[in-house]
Amino acid sequence: MLTAEELERYARHIVLREVGGPGQAKLKAARVLVIGAGGLGAPGLMYLAAAGVGTLGVIDDDVVSLSNLQRQIIHATPDVGRLKVDSAADTVLALNPHVMMRTHNMRLDASNAMALLNQYDLVADGSDNFATRYLVSDACYLAGKPLITGALGVFDASLTTIRAHETNAKGDRNPTYRCLFPEPPPPGTVPACAEAGVMGALAGVLGAMMALEAIREIVGFGEGLVGRLLMIDARAMRFETLRYARDPSNPLNGDNPTITDLSAYR
């Protein structure tokens, strides 16, 4: 049930035929976990909060540094040195006090992933390393949670939605993250943003698109990104979409799965 204040706050959503009152009520009832309060998590959290997602969780074990502020717009200069989850929570609640904000000042790992994911309906992964992305995608499959995962390069970015625990309209299993990227790149081949650099506004674009995809998944309109990889080329200002399918040999939901828990990450 939406209050009179919420009806006014979300009026521009409610007049949308695709959202309306029922869609806004779904957003209020939703519980979304955002992995990372950094370049992608910062704009993602803000737009999810503005949209009226009822419960927002954020997990991050880092503190705000001055070099973060070029792209991590949920933090401000006075926040330097603070825990990112605390800074993010203050900004979210200042933007929308109707949101219940849960902070997890820790690093996601095999020991806490399943218990944490089971508290939420949907996961948005804005992590900046392949180890975490594979852990999150495997854990979401095992927990039966939809996953929106984004990756940011120097002038490129990508976004997809994973519902590997479900079947499509034809009754076929949906693809996993491992169907798209069977193996992580060898260590050292992909430089961190501190070494290669990153365009701050591009992080904002992708983080906002992650929030948009989460909203679409919660409300249920449009064609989602399950089985589709959206790619952004910021140099040419070009968007392309690549379709991908389930690989029967993938170790998660393939014909002969070998990953049945997170023990390999311990």
Domains of the chain in start order, with CATH, are: 7-184+195-265 (3.40.50.720)
* pLDDT tens digits, one per residue of 45-87: 999 999 999 999 999 999 999 999 999 999 999 999 999 999 9
Q: Residue 30 and residue 116: Cα distance in Å, rounded?
A: 15
Model pTM score: 0.96
The predicted pLDDT at position 226 comes to: 97
* pLDDT tens digits, one per residue of 98-149: 999 999 999 999 999 999 999 999 999 999 889 999 999 999 999 999 999 9
The predicted pLDDT at position 184 comes to: 83
**SS3 state at 224:** coil
Estimate the share of the chain in helix, then strand, then coil, as percent rounded to the nearest 5. 40, 20, 45
Answer whether residue 192 shows pLDDT above 90: no
What's the Cα-to-Cα distance from 220 to each of 22, 121, 142, 214, rounded to whole Å? Answer: 11, 14, 23, 10
Asked if residue 24 lies in contact with residue 13, where contact means CB atoms within 8 angstroms, the answer is yes
The predicted pLDDT at position 197 comes to: 82
Asked if residue 75 lies in contact with residue 90, where contact means CB atoms within 8 angstroms, the answer is no
**SS3 state at 115:** helix
The predicted pLDDT at position 187 comes to: 73
Asked if residue 60 lies in contact with residue 37, where contact means CB atoms within 8 angstroms, the answer is yes
* pLDDT tens digits, one per residue of 146-162: 999 999 999 999 999 99
Q: What is the mean pLDDT of residues 211-235?
A: 97
Name the one residue in this structure whose structure tokens are 């503190």: 63
- Rounded to a whole number of angstroms, the distance between the first and last alpha carbons of the chain is 43
Q: What is the mean pLDDT of residues 10-22?
A: 97
Strand order, beta sheet including 147-152: 100-104, 55-59, 31-35, 122-125, 147-152, 156-162, 228-233, 238-243
Give the mean pLDDT of the chain.
Answer: 95
Q: How many CA atoms lie within 13 A of 84 on its CB side?
A: 28
